[in-house]
Amino acid sequence: MTDPVTKSPVERVVHTIARTAVENEKYFGDLDAVVGDGDFGYSLARGFEIVLNDWDSFDRTDISTFLKKIAVVVTSRIGGTSGPIWGTAFLRAAAVTAGKSEVDGPTAVAMLRSAAEGIMARGGASLGEKTLLDSLVPATDEVERQVAQGHDALTTLQAAAAVARATADDTAKLQARRGRAAYTGERSIGSVDAGATAVAVLFEALVHEWQGDPA
């Protein structure tokens, strides 16, 4: 399998997401089991396992093609509602990169924005409903601020990871309005959202990846 250090930035991000999802299968599942059905960690890990196993076979003609291939695998192999939601995120990011050979800061922001909008549309969710959006959107806002200030990738990721973690922790104050957790009503208050926490963990993993090689 390709050494992560030799990957393009987009490949490094996707590989880190896939690896982190697999490594945190139990943690994400345990979080989801508090008020959900507990299958979030398992579903995510099974889908991204395929991404890792098939890594060298993905078409890398261009960034958009690569991300579309990832989207297909994620959509078809991740069970439950997570597959279509995460698959849509990759598909929307792919659309933003159409015709691009590299991703700069503004493009990265646009990819994140488009992914969040796709998740909103696909899941019918909004901010404040105790979903991954409650971490992803504020983290994206922070990425945009850092890019506008001209900061490098590592600095940007560190700032975004801090926001992602803080906002994920804040989901404990919210009542779930989407997914199986919504059926628990007020009992969902007091525990963090598994999806939002996963977003925080993924941003933190990207920080570690870029600390190892900030290029």
pLDDT in tens, 14-23: 999 999 999 9
Grade residue 180 by pLDDT with cuts at 50, 70 and 90: low
Inside any domain, residue 69: yes
Evaluate if residue 102 carries a pLDDT over 80: yes
Inside any domain, residue 2: no
Inside any domain, residue 179: yes
Residue type at 55? W
Task: Give residue 71's domain range.
Answer: 8-212
Q: Is residue 29 within 8 Å of residue 40, measured between CB atoms?
A: yes
The residue behind tokens 């007020």 is 186
Given this model, what pLDDT does residue 32 score? 83
Cα within 13 Å of Cα(204), Cβ side: 16
Cα 139 to the center of its chain, rounded Å: 11
Inside any domain, residue 203: yes
Inside any domain, residue 3: no
pLDDT in tens, 112-170: 999 999 999 987 888 888 889 999 999 999 999 999 999 999 999 999 999 999 999 99
| DSSP state letter for 165 | H
pTM metric for this prediction: 0.90
pLDDT in tens, 22-47: 999 999 999 888 766 678 889 999 99
Please state, rounded to an integer, the average pLDDT across all residues of the chain: 89
Q: Token pair of 67, please?
A: 């991300």
CATH number at residue 123: 1.25.40.340
Inside any domain, residue 1: no
Given this model, what pLDDT does residue 5 score? 45
Inside any domain, residue 82: yes
Inside any domain, residue 118: yes
Number of domains within the chain: 1
